[in-house]
Amino acid sequence: MPGHHAIYISNMEEASWFLSQIEIDQAAYAFMSPKAVYRCIKLKDIPCRWANVIKQEMLSKGGEAAVRRESLYAQGSTDVLLMGTIKHYQLLIKKLNAQPDALREIAAEIKKILDNLEPNQLVMQLPRGKTMNFGHKTYIMGILNVTPDSFSDFGQYYNEEKAFARAMEMAEQGADIIDIGGASSRPQSQMAGTEEEMARVIPLVKRLAREDIILSVDTFRANVARESLAAGAHIINDIGRLQMDKGLLPVLAEHQTPVILMHNRLQFNQGIPYQDLVADIITELQESIEEGIEGGLDSRQMIIDPGLGFGKNMEQNLTLLKRLKDFKSLGLPILIGASRKSFIGKVLEADVTDRVEGTLAVTAVSILNGANIIRVHDVKENVKVARMTDAVVYAHG
């Protein structure tokens, strides 16, 4: 059987492309494309009576739904794993929309997830006329730690002149964003106070703001964020996902400034075990997204970061990279910061000075699995990997 082969179709756009190669009738695209894309969606903590309705409706449409064994007769709740083509989901959503409010809300969530999994072009507006156009390329964020105790560069940029020179070097190497950090967040480090952090960061931001590059400031503090934005920063990279300083959100909302919301069980919620790793992280990120929206920040100004290394062990970090596509359910750009981190060292049995190749592998995997921004120390090498991986991701067929 020469030439027979399986085809893996990721989304409706790919489905339409493969159908076009068969030269089908134009009218057939609308009803064939949804049948070519298979999705699994996990619903969390659904009351058993509603879970049973969802299961029966999905089965009746030709799809499948898994619930816990006792749910048919049980009170309480169950997780539900839905399995089917987009066509199955379209029929399910239509049926659930004719049911009580609780089921209509679930239908809306299912539709939102399905929509978020399709390729989309998001243009994020930054201060002072700059934009980021996601869906065409991966952005490389160069790390610039202006602290005396950085885990990977050993404080060599704890000097404004050296820091400025390094920023310009990274820009020349292809960095799209420079992320400036003035307070170390690594484990066991002594975090700088607010005044000290500002003294390290603000003068550098003012100098770099004269250059044609996007500036991010790695801070969870409202006062540092406010002064950084006034000095010329475009993005706030918050390791606390709006939880470590409740004054940060009003600052972001006032300026409608893009924010990176990083999941973190190192600086807070430390020691709380994960019940369902990906679901727990998505839930906590959703809480911050909703808090941001309620506080006046446009969701289109948010970027999510699963927080590799921040309260996760090696196996959990690897699982997050493997399942990164699950985070596309949230419909927001995804940032991955794995550069030189200890889990890479554990896998490769390499110290911090010998983790470039491991970082490059993570960069490629992350882009293939949906990352939009890669935060790295070694810009030149990662730019090349990103360009090559982007060429694969955005290739036709």
133, amino acid identity: N
CA nearest neighbour of 249 among 227, 220, 228: 220
Q: Taking a C-beta distance cutoff of 8 angstroms, is the pair 336, 125 a contact?
A: no
CA nearest neighbour of 217 among 122, 157, 145, 163: 145
CA nearest neighbour of 81 among 61, 110, 104: 110
Other beta carbons within 10 angstroms of residue 209's beta carbon come to 15
- 375 has catalytic annotation: yes
Please give the full DSSP string across 116-174, using - where no structure is assigned: HHS---EEEE-GGG-EEEETS-PEEEEEEE-STT-TTTTTTT-SHHHHHHHHHHHHHTT
**Which residues touch 286 (CB under 8 Å, ≥6 apart)?**
330
In angstroms, the CA 108 to CA 169 distance is 47
- Annotated catalytic residue: which of 69, 341, 346, 387? 341
Tokens (6 digits) for 80: 């539900």
**Which residues touch 59 (CB under 8 Å, ≥6 apart)?**
65
In angstroms, the CA 240 to CA 174 distance is 28
170, amino acid identity: M
Q: Taking a C-beta distance cutoff of 8 angstroms, is the pair 29, 19 a contact?
A: yes
- Annotated catalytic residue: which of 42, 375, 384, 387? 375
In angstroms, the CA 214 to CA 186 distance is 24
228 alpha-carbon distance from chain centroid: 24
**Which residues touch 82 (CB under 8 Å, ≥6 apart)?**
39, 40, 41, 42, 43, 54, 58, 63, 64, 65, 89, 92, 110
Site of tokens 């006032």: 254
Catalytic site residues?
341, 375
